[in-house]
């Protein structure tokens, strides 16, 4: 039996929308096209074709956002768990030994999912650097002024001593 090609006369089939919904549901859980295709039983080429449709692309973007928010929630839970102190057998409070590695991983994932929210903000970093530079210069200037004041006082004292001995 030969299958007809092109867009059906009465619009898209219910099967297409069912497959799209399966794919989008899987994507919102797994976060990758490859895994979502595998779970939904859809070919990658089909998803590529769907992505040409603005309506599907909007739904796809929402599924991506849903996945990102799921990861964000899990990341927060992981960080809270890793940073929650526990009492060991000796009664000492300690943190999870691998906590710093999980934090790094968490920030890496969040930077990728929500760069506008989690990436370094160079403007603020530069501003902080400028403020620290100005602060260091002010401290150095104050120290130089104090040193100069001491040297002037020492010179006056030496002159007074020298003048008195004459």
Number of domains within the chain: 1
Tell me whether residue 148 is in a domain: yes
Asked if residues 102 and 83 have their Cβ atoms less than 8 Å apart, the reply is no
Mean pLDDT of the chain: 78
Which of 87 and 11 is assigned the larger pLDDT? 87
Tell me whether residue 138 is in a domain: yes
Provide the b/e sequence for 2-16 (b: ≥16 CB within 10 Å). Answer: eeeeeeeeeeeeeee
CA atoms of 80 and 78, how far apart (whole Å): 5
pLDDT at 14: 63
Q: Looking at the predicted structure, is the pLDDT value of residue 65 above 60?
A: yes
Domain of 128?
A: 121-166
pLDDT range class, residue 58, cuts 50, 70, 90: very high
The mean pLDDT of 83-107, rounded to a whole number, is 74
In DSSP terms, which residues pair with 87 in a beta bridge? 93
Asked if residues 70 and 101 have their Cβ atoms less than 8 Å apart, the reply is no
DSSP β-ladder status, 93-94 and 86-87: antiparallel
Tell me whether residue 133 is in a domain: yes
pLDDT range class, residue 4, cuts 50, 70, 90: very low
pLDDT at 166: 46
């Amino acid at each position: 039996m030969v299958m007809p090609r092109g867009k059906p006369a009465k619009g898209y089939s219910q099967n297409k929308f069912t497959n799209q919904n399966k794919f989008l549901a899987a994507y919102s859980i797994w976060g990758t096209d490859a895994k979502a295709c595998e779970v939904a039983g859809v070919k990658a080429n089909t998803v590529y074709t769907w992505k040409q449709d603005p309506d599907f692309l909007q739904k796809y973007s929402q599924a991506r956002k849903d996945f990102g928010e799921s990861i964000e929630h899990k990341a927060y839970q992981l960080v809270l768990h890793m940073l929650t102190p526990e009492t060991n057998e000796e009664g000492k409070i300690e943190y999870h030994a691998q906590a710093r590695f999980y934090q790094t991983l968490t920030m890496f994932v969040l930077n990728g999912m929500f760069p506008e929210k989690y990436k370094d903000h160079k403007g603020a970093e530069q501003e902080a650097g400028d403020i620290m530079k100005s602060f260091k210069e002010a401290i150095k200037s104050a120290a130089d002024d104090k040193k100069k004041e001491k040297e002037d006082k020492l010179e006056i004292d030496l002159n007074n001593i020298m003048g008195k001995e004459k």
